[in-house]
């Protein structure tokens, strides 16, 4: 009976039946198919987005992969201005923060460690290039084509460290059309954001574009530590230059360079809300308000530079693409009050925490002229990555050595280290300098093919083979001495390990009716082995590679002449050697990194968009989405945690059966948008509601580590004056002034909280000219 609801049962659509393609080919071979286009007759939120989730252009609704995709217009319509904002619009996507790192969980899979050797489990791609640093995920958008969020392991096509999924950001490629846009906003806390984009055609073959941004805001926290100090202003600035060279119809070269810098505090602004019983005994408990009493003034500055390019040849029988990149990120002026109080006890930081990554990829894909193109589409290639990074150095400083809390801390260190300290009581402070550098070299080859067995049934087979060598380049610890210098007291021998892996994929997809896709898939993902690089008095631990195996069944559908879109999926992820982090000075280092044995995640998600009154009120659009997850550790023994009575760390916990960290049982959102024609313009009123059921920050699931449920309300009122393409938007976020954490940080001294921003509001201008 599904055909009764299918729009094609009433009127066949030539556009919906057009065969799919990759990149058009101009040659004497069979004619290339027209580039795919979005359905501009639909409301913005129901427009068809063209995605490259399978490394070729396809309509979102035709891809048998769970993907949330947003065009630039849809991002604007939803009020999404940064990657972090996706968390309230994409079911199952969870953003948290820790010491300046952006920790992303997708369907319960993520990484909660904030060290350069702990790669994110959700891979981030910018214009097809892999950017693995957790520091650089949240950035101001330039002029975008779209953002795609691919859910579930993407090991075949997106490779290493995509066990949770991938976020792909695609920016505009400069062309021969002059284009200029300006976005400027001003809001609470003197939050000003300015972004300018322009395209500059130089010749018939060469065009460039420039995108620059500058953001400045006062900190929504204030500091009260008995001194006349101020928290640093939050500043983000950067520029991106792109050049597109198209000398012939079948060859193009696009080169990009960008430089960004973020400075301020990020989540290094935190307060100790629940001090531990022993090491935190002298620390007064703070409140969940926007006041920090840190003795060490928090700060963080991150500089990112990247240069990348891609060359594409459209040949008669296949397409060839070559991609290359150089990427560098460095966090310096990094200061974190480790005890989270006004007392001078412990400070963690880094003079230089960096990563440098070089990548190269050679890709081959079928096109309209490839033999068998009518029933077979394929892609394959080879990929190379070389990286190096770490702390050079990082540090942990203990001050006021005479305080009882420091005496307790030193007394709990292993006897060999206590002997090394020797004259500690005569020092005013004790500084551990830890240098930890790690390198990686990775090669992989991949292929994936989709065969149309019938006009309603496709089968996809793929696989990726990867070999990677991880090297612990350097790991040593220095200690300050009575002469004021630093002496190396512990030096660990370099180590290396090689791991090989094969990640397969099988997908079956069925089209029983037009605008209805059913699919079932099996796929695996692989996350690289690594080393724990912050070690003060224990050898660096080897961290086993993380492997995810996923089963998924899903539906993509449009109903009632595309008035209603329902996409959904059910899935199960089985994880082996889940990589997880733990923070404690008394168990070997300031930050520990370990494997959590096995875990299982069962879930379901749905995403609904509808224009219920398209004839009578075409400007009314409703959205809703939800994610249900049952995420547990199925075998997690010898885990690290804190004693709930004393606050002292242990390493022999059994967390089997506990909930996976940073993963709510339910999260979901609902939105409404009403657009009306007013004179020469368009008036839009929109609102969004988001609910999160809460989650644990520690694998031991102690009550002190639980973030309770919270909800968020946002609203926008905008007017677009069409003759000038000028849009003004009045916006408000967290209108209920909900108190919830952007970050929660557990140490030997207790629990430290960093609240997310309170109610914010402002005015934003968008002008295309």
Per-residue pLDDT of 375-397, as tens digits, reads 999 999 999 999 999 988 888 88
3-state secondary structure at position 321: strand
Question: What is the band of 429 on the pLDDT scale with cuts at 50, 70, 90?
Answer: confident
d(CA 198, CA 239): 12
Q: Which long-range contacts (CB under 8 A, 24 or more apart) does 57-61 make?
A: 57/20, 57/21, 57/22, 57/23, 58/20, 59/20, 60/556, 61/515, 61/517, 61/556, 61/557, 61/558, 61/565, 61/567
Give me the pLDDT at residue 4, please: 33
d(CA 463, CA 447): 6
Q: Which two tokens stand for residue 539?
A: 């050898």
User: Quick one: what percent of the chain has pLDDT higher than 70?
Assistant: 88
Phi, psi angles (nearest 5°) of residue 113:
-95, 140
Considering the four listed CATH numbers 1.10.3720.10, 3.40.309.10, 2.40.170.20, 2.60.120.10, the one that applies to the domain covering 2-274+289-768 is 2.40.170.20
Count of Cβ atoms closer than 10 Å to residue 88 Cβ: 24
d(CA 341, CA 321): 54
Question: What is the band of 224 on the pLDDT scale with cuts at 50, 70, 90?
Answer: confident
Give me the pLDDT at residue 265, please: 85
Give me the pLDDT at residue 131, please: 85
Residues 606 and 567 sit within 8 Å (Cβ to Cβ): yes
Question: What is the band of 410 on the pLDDT scale with cuts at 50, 70, 90?
Answer: low
For residue 665, is pLDDT > 90?
yes
Specify the DSSP class assigned to residue 84: G
Residues 64 and 517 sit within 8 Å (Cβ to Cβ): yes
d(CA 413, CA 436): 21
Q: Which two tokens stand for residue 111?
A: 């990484």
User: Quick one: what percent of the chain has pLDDT higher than 90?
Assistant: 58
Distances (CA, A) of 125 to 43, 622, 628: 28, 30, 26
For residue 5, is pLDDT > 50?
no
Distances (CA, A) of 293 to 285, 286, 297, 334: 11, 9, 9, 17
d(CA 753, CA 769): 44
d(CA 615, CA 612): 9
Specify the DSSP class assigned to residue 19: P
For residue 194, is pLDDT > 80?
yes
d(CA 90, CA 350): 34
Average pLDDT of the chain is 86
Query: For strand 191-201 and strand 179-187, is the pairing parallel, antiparallel, or unpaired?
Result: antiparallel
Give me the pLDDT at residue 1, please: 31
Give me the pLDDT at residue 111, please: 85
Q: What is the dihedral of CA 114, 119, 122, 128, to 10 degrees?
A: 130
For residue 444, is pLDDT > 90?
yes
d(CA 754, CA 745): 8
d(CA 173, CA 305): 19
**Residue 516: exposed, middle, or buried by beta-carbon count in 10 A (0-12, 13-18, 19+)?**
buried
Question: What is the band of 413 on the pLDDT scale with cuts at 50, 70, 90?
Answer: low
d(CA 147, CA 126): 9
For residue 416, is pLDDT > 60?
no
Residues 503 and 474 sit within 8 Å (Cβ to Cβ): no
List residues bridging with 244 in a β-sheet.
207, 254
Among candidate residues 526, 516, 460, the one with its CA nearest the CA of residue 162:
526
Per residue in 54-91, pLDDT tens? 999 999 999 999 999 998 888 887 878 777 788 888 98
Among candidate residues 579, 581, 584, the one with its CA nearest the CA of residue 643:
584
For residue 340, is pLDDT > 50?
yes
Residues 207 and 220 sit within 8 Å (Cβ to Cβ): no
Instruction: Return the H-helix or E-strand segment holding 336.
Output: strand 319-337
Biggest CA pair distance of the chain: 88
The helix, strand and coil proportions of the chain, stated in percent and rounded to the nearest 5, come to 10, 55, 35
């Amino acid at each position: 009976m599904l055909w009764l609801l299918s729009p094609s049962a009433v009127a066949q659509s030539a556009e919906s039946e057009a065969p799919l393609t990759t990149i058009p080919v101009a040659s004497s071979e069979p004619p290339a198919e027209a580039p795919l286009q979005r359905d501009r007759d639909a409301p913005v939120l129901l427009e068809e987005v063209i995605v490259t989730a399978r490394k070729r252009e396809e309509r979102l609704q035709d891809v048998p992969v769970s993907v949330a995709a947003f065009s630039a217009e849809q991002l604007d319509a939803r009020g999404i201005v940064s990657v972090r904002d996706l968390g309230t619009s994409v079911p199952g996507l969870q953003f948290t923060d820790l010491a300046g790192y952006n920790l992303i969980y997708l369907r319960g899979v993520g990484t909660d460690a904030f060290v350069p050797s702990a790669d994110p489990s959700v891979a981030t791609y910018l214009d097809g290039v892999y950017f693995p640093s957790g520091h650089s995920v949240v950035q101001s958008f330039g002029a975008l084509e779209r953002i795609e969020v691919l859910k579930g392991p993407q090991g075949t096509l997106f490779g290493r460290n995509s066990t949770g999924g991938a976020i792909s950001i695609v920016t505009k490629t400069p062309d021969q059309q002059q284009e200029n846009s300006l976005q400027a906003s001003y809001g609470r806390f003197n939050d000003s954001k300015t972004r300018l984009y322009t395209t500059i055609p130089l010749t018939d073959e060469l065009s460039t574009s420039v995108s620059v941004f500058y953001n400045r805001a006062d900190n929504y926290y204030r500091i009260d530590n008995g001194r006349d100090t101020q928290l640093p202003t939050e500043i983000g600035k950067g520029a991106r230059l792109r050049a597109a060279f198209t000398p012939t119809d079948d060859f193009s070269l696009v080169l990009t360079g960008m430089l960004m810098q973020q400075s301020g505090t990020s989540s290094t602004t935190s307060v100790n809300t629940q001090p531990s019983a022993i090491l935190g005994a002298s620390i007064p408990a703070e409140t969940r308000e926007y006041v920090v009493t840190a003795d060490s003034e928090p700060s963080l500055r991150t500089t990112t530079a990247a240069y990348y390019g891609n060359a594409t040849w459209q040949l008669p029988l296949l397409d060839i693409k070559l991609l290359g990149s150089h990427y560098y990120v460095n966090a310096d002026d990094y200061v974190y009050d480790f005890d989270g109080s006004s007392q001078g006890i412990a400070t963690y930081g880094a003079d230089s925490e960096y990563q440098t990554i070089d990548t190269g990829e050679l890709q081959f894909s079928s096109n309209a002229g490839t033999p068998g193109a009518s029933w077979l589409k394929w892609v394959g290639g080879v990929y190379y990555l070389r990286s190096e990074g770490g702390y050079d150095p990082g540090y942990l400083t203990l001050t006021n050595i005479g305080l009882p809390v420091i005496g307790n801390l030193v007394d709990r260190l292993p006897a060999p280290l206590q002997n090394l300290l020797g004259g500690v009581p005569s020092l005013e402070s004790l500084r551990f300098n830890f240098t930890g550098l790690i390198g990686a070299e990775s090669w992989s080859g991949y292929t994936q093919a989709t065969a149309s067995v019938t006009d309603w049934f496709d089968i996809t087979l793929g696989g990726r083979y990867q070999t990677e060598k991880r090297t612990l380049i350097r790991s040593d610890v220095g200690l300050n001495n009575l002469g004021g210098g630093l002496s190396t007291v512990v030096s660990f021998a370099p180590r290396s390990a090689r791991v090989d892996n094969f990640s397969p994929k099988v997908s079956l997809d069925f089209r029983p009716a037009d605008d209805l896709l059913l699919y079932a898939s099996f796929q695996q993902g692989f996350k690289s082995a690594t080393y724990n690089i912050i070690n003060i008095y224990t050898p660096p631990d080897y961290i086993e590679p993380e492997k995810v195996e996923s089963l998924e069944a899903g539906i993509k559908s449009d109903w009632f002449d595309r008035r209603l879109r329902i996409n959904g999926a059910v899935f199960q992820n089985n994880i082996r050697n889940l990589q997880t982090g733990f923070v404690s000075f008394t168990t070997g280092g300031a930050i520990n990194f370990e494997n959590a044995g096995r875990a299982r995640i069962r879930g379901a998600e749905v995403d609904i968009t509808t224009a219920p009154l398209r004839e009578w009120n075409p400007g009314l659009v409703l959205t809703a989405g939800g994610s249900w997850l049952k995420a547990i550790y199925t075998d997690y023994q010898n885990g690290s945690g804190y004693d709930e009575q004393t606050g002292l760390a242990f390493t022999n916990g059994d967390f089997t059966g506990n909930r996976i960290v940073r993963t709510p049982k339910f999260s979901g959102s609902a939105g409404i948008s009403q657009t009306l024609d007013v004179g020469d313009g368009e008036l839009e009123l929109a609102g969004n509601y988001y609910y999160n059921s809460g989650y644990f920050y520690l694998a031991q699931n102690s009550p002190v580590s639980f973030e309770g449920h919270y909800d968020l309300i946002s609203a926008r009122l905008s007017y677009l004056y069409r003759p000038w393409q000028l849009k003004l938007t009045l916006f408000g976020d967290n209108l209920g002034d909900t108190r919830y954490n952007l970050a929660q940080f557990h140490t030997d001294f207790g629990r430290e909280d960093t609240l997310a921003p309170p109610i914010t509001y402002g005015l934003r201008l968008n002008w295309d000219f």
